[in-house]
Amino acid sequence: MRLVCDPDGDREVLATDVETADSLASQVRGLTFRRSIPDDYALAFRFATARTRDVHMLFVFFPIDVVWVVDGVVRRVERLRPWRGYAREEADLIVELPAGATANVAVGDRLVLEE
């Protein structure tokens, strides 16, 4: 699976190694206790409905970029700091990536998980 941003027909692959947090345990664990992630990695949290969702950085040792998406459209992009970062926004998909991976992603862009 890969993660693609498609702002204006100019497709940019953000990650080629996408892991899905599809169980409650994997969603709670997220990136906690990992020391790093590869440059082409993303962790995707898919939900059945859009609602306000939190992301925290407790026990995450490195900065990450987080994207909140509703119906394939980016609602928020935020860089979170290790240990102390926290943010919330409405989403039916949240994607966590290495810091800097979302440099070209903006609110309103389309984000697609491709099989």
Instruction: Tell me the mean pLDDT in the region 30-48.
Output: 95
pLDDT given for residue 6 in this prediction: 87
- pTM for the full predicted model: 0.94
Per-residue model confidence as pLDDT tens digits over 51-106: 999 999 999 999 999 999 999 999 999 999 999 999 999 999 999 999 999 999 99
Segments making up each domain of the chain, as ranges: 2-114
Instruction: Tell me the mean pLDDT in the region 13-20.
Output: 96
* Residue 31's pLDDT band (cuts 50, 70, 90): very high
What is the torsional sign of CA 54, 57, 59, 65? positive
Q: What region does 71 belong to: left with phi over 0, alpha with psi -120 to 50, or beta?
A: left
CA dihedral 93, 90, 66, 59 (to 10 degrees): -100
Looking at 2.60.120.1140, 2.130.10.10, 3.40.50.300, 3.40.630.10, the CATH number of the domain 2-114 comes to 2.60.120.1140
CA dihedral 29, 3, 92, 45 (to 10 degrees): -10
